[in-house]
Amino acid sequence: MGQALFPNRNIGRMAITPLSSAKTFSVECTGLNTAERDDLVGFFIQMQGRFGSFRFEYEDIVFPVCRFDSDIGPWIENGPGPHGLTFSIKVLSYAREAA
């Protein structure tokens, strides 16, 4: 079975910000509808917090192995809707660039 893929295709807007550690990033998703929010929360539950690892792709950035950086709801939900979620991911390995 291949690496689980973070469900970020065709969702609201997403921004990635490096945190103090070079391998930790804040991911902010805004403009989510209820189904998109539920998909992200469901994915966190499926990964069992930071226990499971997954592949994260965003524009031209590929993190082939990463995990959530917390075991307990690492997101901040903003407003009643459209929804916004913010959480941290930890990169365990980086993609190698093609030669």
Q: Does the residue 17 lie in any domain?
A: yes
pLDDT in tens, 26-63: 888 888 888 888 888 888 888 888 888 998 887 777 88
In-domain check, residue 88 = yes
Task: Please check whether residue 98 lies inside any domain of the structure.
Answer: no
Check: pTM over 0.85? Answer yes or no.
Answer: no
Instruction: Please give the tally of structural domains in the chain.
Output: 1
Q: Which residues, at least 6 apart from 78, have a Cβ–Cβ distance to it below 8 Å? A: 30, 84, 85, 86
| Burial of 42 from C-beta contacts in 10 A (0-12 / 13-18 / 19+) | exposed
Range of the domain at 31: 4-93
Distance CA 70, CA 91 (A): 13
3-state secondary structure of 77: strand
Is the residue at 42 inside a domain?
yes
What's the rounded Cα separation, in Å, for the pair 68 and 52?
8
Whether residue 99 is contained in a domain is answered as: no
Residue 61 C-alpha from the chain's centroid: 13
